[in-house]
Structure 1
């Protein structure tokens, strides 16, 4: 309970409409780049994306932010869903645990859990509250503790101990450009 309060306070109240994010345990930012076959994004490109989020969004989906945090890394995309896709999850979860979330403007928070390249849970609703009959006691407690705090839930689920919201709100440690591919597979 103490960690939940600390994490929620550290992250604060975020507006994350349209946010895609992935929390990955025990991995470095350099390893994220390697696994995703990403290259550093051009600073001018990133600035243009942030300045004009509404235009040519599909062209900007391959740019993600990566931030090292205690316990692992956060991959974030304030304007898209790419960190939440199965292609990213499979690559990042090899040998570790991953929890991704996309705040779909049309349908709320959607989460997915992968471990060692395999999906463990899909179409979860982090921070939404409400337990299911087959949920473990640990999951019921987490659902209660992180009700209305989807980002904190995602981080806690993987054991990330953020000190602040920078991994989500930016600037990240690095911006990466992912290769063009079907990230849904």
Structure 2
């Protein structure tokens, strides 16, 4: 019963209704048992499910248990609309991160929607520099038919955003490696078949790949990484922007880029 109901309780706390959580609690040996370094209460707080949180607290779950690089369930709740009573506090930087999340998500307004697009968020690089790094030529905005080697690029506070409305070119490793020389870039392809695929590029090299921006918190993350992944749960585009420290005022980078560029023919864009 133990391990089986442990996984069921954690799943229910994060993804299911209060009724499912109540049933799982009734079968659980320990409501504070950890799975992937966190308790069911932590998962309910992370998923912004206040009813599930209430049931777990009533069952004796401890909101102050230390976990996830210093983010107890109670401290994590301070970043949500349903904070739990606690003596723990957020730092000034953490409060600013919460405020920026709210601003950025509102500014994007759900744009871009759907899937099939790709993007690159590059820190400290403007649109003109991106064109130069890619050895690209400037072209007119594409018409109704997407071109596989044409990308839009826009300077935003903190860096630039490259986007291909229908295609994966903006997230090709070779493109991102070139753009990340001396800095950091985050790329994402909203794959219609397998979901959002992300990668991190630093100093001209691929540092991490097969990532899932907006998909939740992984084990053994740093405190800053836990906060970032928690704040941008289910907000993959905003996550990519925030990871690179970009702060666009609106969604124009995805609908009306500053410039359009055509990538030169190369053998090392993708691999």
TM-score scaled by length of structure 1: 0.89
Alpha-carbon offset, residue 83 of structure 1: 1.1
Give the aligned partner of residue 159 of structure 1: 245
Give the aligned partner of residue 137 of structure 1: 223
Give the aligned partner of residue 44 of structure 2: none
Give the aligned partner of residue 179 of structure 1: 264
Give the aligned partner of residue 126 of structure 1: 213
TM-score scaled by length of structure 2: 0.62
Structure 1 runs of 4+ off > 3 angstroms? none
Say which SS state the counterpart of residue 154 (structure 1) adopts: helix
Gaps of 5+ in 2: 1-97
Task: Considering fraction of residues, name the structure with more strand.
Answer: 1
Greater relative CO, 1 or 2 (CA 8 Å, sep 6+): 1
Give me the whole-angstrom Cα distance separating, in 2, the residues matched to 1:52 and 1:42: 13
1:3-82 residue pairs with structure 2 within 5 A? 3-14=100-111, 15-43=113-141, 46-47=142-143, 51-53=144-146, 60-82=147-169
Residue by residue, what CA displacement relative to the aligned partner does 1:71-104 show, whole Å, maximum 9, x if unpaired? 0000000101111111101100001110000000
Give me the whole-angstrom Cα distance separating, in 2, the residues matched to 1:121 and 1:88: 15
Alpha-carbon offset, residue 125 of structure 1: 0.2
Alpha-carbon offset, residue 144 of structure 1: 1.2
Instruction: Work out whether residues 16 and 78 of structure 1, in 8 Å CA contact, stay in contact via their aligned partners in 2.
Output: no
Give me the whole-angstrom Cα distance separating, in 2, the residues matched to 1:28 and 1:164: 17
Root-mean-square deviation (Å): 1.1
Give me the whole-angstrom Cα distance separating, in 2, the residues matched to 1:7 and 1:154: 11
Q: Give the one of 140, 157, 174 matched to 1:87.
A: 174
Alpha-carbon offset, residue 18 of structure 1: 0.7
Alpha-carbon offset, residue 153 of structure 1: 0.2
Give me the whole-angstrom Cα distance separating, in 2, the residues matched to 1:52 and 1:159: 32
